[in-house]
Structures are given as structure tokens and as C-alpha cells.
Structure 1
């Protein structure tokens, strides 16, 4: 087969990665690592060699039975047969196979010099040499074998015959050309297989990385819209209780009770987040409208009044759509309370045949116009370490094919509109 310098070998697979078996690393046939087809081909070559050897020996015995060379020819024929059959029975290493080939070729040369009729035993030897040796070495050996066959045929011929001069080189060239072509085709095919396996492995790794990143983003949004907002509200209530502890103990106790209630709800959210369940308000069996009404009642405190209104039929929304809209309302109300200075806010749920929309409006300060070239998030927290704001809401809606629109005028409040289509991508629950 090919020498490693003749053509580049396919890159090795990474450790621990399963892949199709490739050709031997040296580019030559490895006797000790045969496949089923390799063993069948070895058996065929050995059988062909033994049959040709037996035929040549029988011809010599019939025509030259009284020759003084007969014992030598019989002995060498037996040695050739034994070595060839032993190599088939116990392939051994590549080096052992080459040693056997050298012994067989040497004995065959001596036999051909004694009896030219043994010349055509070289055909199986040509194939064996091509399988065991690098391409350059195999071509040199095949050329020598073909030359010796030509000389033997010319010795046997009564006169000059062009076939005796042309047939052995043509047979040797055809055998070598076909073998080298098939070997290179197998190598190219192996290159392609290795490329496909490597590409599949890289694609799987990319999908795992993207999946991990998407899950991290999802968890960050869930934490921002549930636990982070809950902790922020508790912090504000506890600070208010601390300021009023001496001057208005009753109001301070009210703030503490409200903070405790928020903490209990946050604990429920945390447990459901660990188990990857729906928001607590939805998990209690309520629909989105009831969950939004509960959220509005819970957020109506400390000078902020939140109203809820539903329009359209009372449609049972898909769990993902209901969860996304509830999280949107939670995040928007938390930002209204912390940043807008609003006195009132309104949640409006509109259910149509093919779309569900949620409007969150407030009468607060509104969003200041961004500076030229700036990319300020109108719902974002001023502290970049504390929140996701508008990008998190928009990303959650985009996953469901939805959209987010924000309208605001400084000093006149803001309106946030989240829409999700009820399409096959987010089919209604049966």
C-alpha cells in the first residue's frame, strides 16, 4: 500500500471520540489488524499461490522427472507453500509479514532460475507486495518480479513471441495501478468520513454551548423577574420600616408584615424555579387573568395603586405564553415602583383569536430621551449589575414569536405593550 510520504493521512480523531476505523497510520496494510475482507483476500492470494505452485511443480515432474534439480525444486516448493500458508494462519505484525515476503521472494527467484515454469507464481506475490510494502518499495519489487517473469517466459519459448515480452509487464502494471487507485480512493473516502465525524462533533459541541448559554439567559431572566424583584421590594420595605420604627411603630410593623409576605412568595418562586415550574401565581391553578389580578392587588401598596382590566374572551392560554406575560408584568411593575415615581399603574390583558396582548401603563416620570449615540434601556436599571430590564423582557417574548413596544413621553408616564401570537408555534392548550 501507500507510503506515508506519498499522500497526507487523515487527521486523527480526538481522544474518546468514536469514529469509523481508518487505514493504518503508516499507509500500509497491517497483517495483525485485518478486517474480515482483508482475511478473505489473504486467503484468496494464498490459495492462488499454492495452486499455481502445485501446477508448476506437477508440470516440472511430468516433463523433467529425471532431472538432478528435482529435489531442490520440490524442497523449495514445499518451503514456499509452508511459509505462505503459515503467514495466512498466523498473520503476525507488519514486520513479520515483510520478512515472510522476503523469504518467499528469495525462494521463488531460485526456483524460477532452476525451472522457468514457476514464473507465473509471481502474480499473487505482486498483490502481497503491494499490500505489505510502501508504494515506492512495492513498485520496485513488482518491476523486478515482472522482469524475471519476462526472462523466464523467453527461456521457455521456442522462438520470439511478443506476448512473452509484453504480457507480464502489462499484468504487473494493471495490478499495481488498480491497487494504488483503490488505495487512494479509500484514503480520500476516509478523509471525507473523518471530516464528517469532526464536523458532527463540532456541531454537537456548538449546540451544547448554545443550549447552555440559552439556559443561563433563561435562568437570569427568571431570577431577575422573580427573586431579584422580590428582594428589592423587601429591601425597600425594610428600609421604610427602619425609618418609621421610632416615629410610627404601627406603620413599621405593617411594612414588616408586607415584607414577610413578599419573602414567603419569593420562597415559593425560588422552589418552583428550582423545579423549573410555572410562576407561583399560575401554578395555583389560576389563569393568566386571575394571576394578573392577584399581582395587581399585591403590588398596590406604598402609594402605588395598580388596577387590572381584561378584554376579550377568557381564553386559556398556553403555559409558556401565560408565564411570559406574567413575568413581563412583574418586571414592568417592579421598575415602575423603583424608578418611575408613579402613583397609579394599569394592567390591561387583551385576548383576541390569534393574539394576546398585555399593556402596562403608568403616570410616572416617563423615560428621558437617550443621549445622541446612546443605547440606554428605558426599562433598565441604572446599575448594570442589578437588572436586565427591557432586553430580558424582549428576549422572553421573542422566543415565543412575540414583540415588545414602548411608548413614553418625559413627565407623562409610559405604556409598555407585549404581544404574543397564538400560532402553531405557541398552540392553545386543548
Structure 2
């Protein structure tokens, strides 16, 4: 079990169980010698064997936990050997019956399913019969083992429930941390891409436009001059042309690599990569004539990446269709045939482990003055649709 705030409690319970079992075994043997029982020597032999087998099993179990190996049959064989030795010790001395209480917890922990309960019933019956043969049958001799069995069952069930809750909490916490890290990384990449796109626009709108204007003016001046001045103007115009080419190269380098061929090509490349990695049938429908500012291309690509990741990781989809269309408005849709989910429940907790991706998509779309619609039904897949008004695109376009 991974380390949690409850790890000291579980460790304390295990140590307490070990101490109880070893103490009761020692008491049974010592009591046999104290009353000068004819079977005292045999009680010592069986008791030492019992403790030895128990300690060897605990040691082997600790090694297997460290190696992350689970082998149920050897553990059941170990418990069966302890049960046989306990039965012999109880037959030799009545105080051996006390060992049945810690054995109850071993049954519940090691024996799968209802087997642990069956083992408790059988050993409780044996304890009652053995005590009756040793000291005579009485109400206390019957009620005592029954009460001990009931208490062990309640404690064992509570322990199992607590363990399941801790495991579930650890799983959710790990998923939450992973999702937060993914969101932080996505936001960092988004910020870097947005800054690069902003610099590219600024250079295009200032330096590149200025150099282009200088070229035009120098070309016009060349037509109205002659002699040495024409040579200098030609040289100046050539220098401006070279600077403009270098500036455009800088703009291309600032453009995100995935989007250097446009959004449609980037979506097709993304679909191929996801399909190769996950073996999911992914179809991308996008025309290359959709022209968008870099800010919008970057945001739509990230939204498509998030929707594809959700469909593959959480929805267990087998077929996904990504479609980019342009009409009165621009639409990006991602449709999958996965298990679906409750959209209202996911939206009610935007900081939940399964809702960060949807929340990030919604924020990106809102930043672009667009509209996001998520339609899903359990067992019937999910459709994520982004609508961006073309009026907003024209305002942002170069």
C-alpha cells in the first residue's frame, strides 16, 4: 500500500496483531508448564513450530510486497499450516484456543471471498468443542468464542472498507495531480505559443510592413533619378529586400511548428499520431482553404488535442471523427462513440479530477468570444462542438 496519512494506523494494527499472536502462543505454552500438564513438552514443540511458521510467513509476505508480487496460493497454504498447528496446540492445552482470535483476522485478510467467513465458522466450532472436552461444556465456553468471532468479523470488515476507501482516495489524488500537471503544462505551452504568435504579428505589422513600404518608395524613386543616385537607390532597395526576407524567415520560425502548414494539416497530423499510438480509428475532415489567425489556430488545435485525449483515455472510444468546417461561422467538432458521461455532473465541479480538460476548453473558447457545446449521454458517446463567429475572425486577421 502506498504511503498515506493512515499508514501509521495500518502499521500499528499489523504490529498489534503480531504482538497479540506471539503473546498468546507464549502464554499457552507457559500455562501448560505452569499446571504441569503431561503434554507440556509437546505443547512447547507445537507452539515453537507455530511461531516459527508464522514469522516465516510474515517475512515472506514482506518481501513479496517489496517486489510488488501477489501470490495467493502460498499465502493460503501458510494460513492452513498455522490452522493445523493451532488445532494441535488447542487439543494439547485449552489456552491454545485463545490463538483463534488473531487467526480470525488472518482468515479475513488472506482467504478470498467468503472463504474467510467459512474458516471463522469452522475454527469457532472447533474451539467450542475443544474447550468443552478440556474443561466441560458451559454457556461461557460457547458464548465466548462466538462473541470473539463476531467482533473479529466486524473489525475485519471495517478494515477492508477503510482499505478500499484509502486506495480509492489515493487513486483519485494521483489522477488529480496528474491532471493538474497536464493542465499546467498545456497552459504553459499555450502561453508560449500565444507569445510567439503575438511577436510574429507585431513583426509582420511593423518591421515587415515598413520594409515593404521602403522597397516600394525606393523603387519609385529609382524611376525618377539617374546616374550615381540610381545605383545607391538600387543598393538600398536590395538591402531592404534582403531585410524583408530575413524578417519573414523570423516570422515563420516564430510560428508554431505544428501549424506551419495550417490548421487543417495540423489536425490531420494530430489524428494520425493519436491513431498510431492508441490504435483508435480517427478520421479528420478539414479543408486547407480555412484561413485563420495564429491565435485561433493554436487554440483550436489545443482544444482538438484535449477532446481526443478525453475520448481515448476516459471514454474508451473506438472511433473518433474530427471535423473543421467554415460557413457563416467556423465550426470544430470532435465526435466519439465512447461510453459517454454526465455533462451536468462534470460541469458542477470544474476543479474535479475528470473536469479540468473540459474547463480548460471552455476557457479557451470564451477567450475567443466563441461558443462551446458538449453533448453526451451514457453509453452513446460524446460530441464536442466549438463555434467561432467569422466577424470575430475578421477583426483578428492580418
Give the TM-score, by structure 2 length. Answer: 0.51
1:369-384, aligned counterparts within 5 Å?
Answer: 375=391
Partner of 2:183: 206
State yes or no: 1:112 paired with 2:90: yes
Contact 2:53–2:82 at 8 Å: present in 1 too?
yes
Q: Which residue in 1 is equivalent to 2:48?
A: 78
Structure-to-structure mapping, 1:123-272, within 5 angstroms: 123-158=101-136, 160-161=138-139, 163-227=140-204, 229-239=206-216, 241-242=218-219, 245=222, 248-249=225-226, 250=229, 253-254=232-233, 257=236, 260=239
* 2:31 counterpart residue number: 59
Query: For 1:125 and 1:377, how far apart are their aligned partners in 2?
Result: 73
Distance 1:252 1:376 in 2: 47
Residues 39 and 226 of structure 1: CA distance in aligned 2, closer, same or farther (over 3 Å): closer
1:244 Cα deviation after fit: 6.0
Contact kept, 8 Å, 2:222 with 2:233, in 1: the verdict is: no
Cα pair distance change 1:49/1:224, threshold 3 Å: closer
After superposition, the C-alpha distances for 1:35-93 in whole angstroms (9 at most, x for unaligned) are: 7766665454343223322332333344463x4x5554343223213222444455444
Q: Cα 1:233–1:21, aligned 2, differ >3 Å: closer, same or farther? A: same
Distance 1:207 1:251, change over 3 A: farther
Decide whether the 8 Å contact of 1:98 with 1:132 is kept in 2. yes
**Matched residues in 2 for 1:52 and 1:376: separation?**
80
- The equivalent residue for 1:21 is 2
CA deviation digits over 1:9-32, x for unaligned, max 9?
A: xxxxxxxxxxx9279xxxxxxxxx
The answer to whether the 8 A contact 1:46-1:88 is kept is no
CA change 1:263–1:36 in 2 (3 A) is same
Partner of 1:395: none
**Do the aligned partners of residues 42 and 216 (structure 1) sit closer, same or farther apart at CA in structure 2, a change above 3 Å counting?**
closer
> Residue 50 of structure 1 corresponds to which residue in structure 2?
22
Give the C-alpha shift of residue 231 in structure 1. Answer: 2.6
Larger RCO (alpha carbons 8 Å, 6+ apart): 1
**Separation in 2, partners of 1:105, 1:54:** 17
Tell me if structure 2 keeps the 8 A contact 1:127–1:175: yes
Q: Distance in 1 between matches of 2:204 and 2:391?
A: 27
Indicate conservation of the 8 Å contact 1:230/1:263, yes or no.
Answer: no
Q: Name the structure with the higher helix share.
A: 2
CA distance 1:226–1:256, shift in 2 (3 Å): farther
Q: Give 1:225 shift.
A: 1.7
TM-score (norm 1): 0.48
Task: Answer whether contact 2:211 2:243 (CA < 8 A) is retained.
Answer: no
Contact 2:218 2:236 in 1 (8 A): no
- With over 3 angstroms needed to count, the CA separation of the structure-2 counterparts of 1:259 and 1:216, relative to structure 1, is farther
> Unaligned regions of 5+ residues in structure 2, if any?
65-70, 254-388
Q: Higher Cα Rg: structure 1 or 2?
A: 1
- After superposition, give the CA deviation of every residue in 1:261-296 in whole Å (9 maximum; x if it has no partner): 79779989999xx9xxxxxxxxxxxxxxxxxxxxxx
- Contact 2:211–2:240 (Cα < 8 Å) also in 1: no
Mapped to 2, the partners of 1:200 and 1:159 lie a distance apart of 60
Preserved CA contact (<8 Å) 1:52 1:120:
yes
Pairwise CA RMSD of aligned residues?
A: 4.2
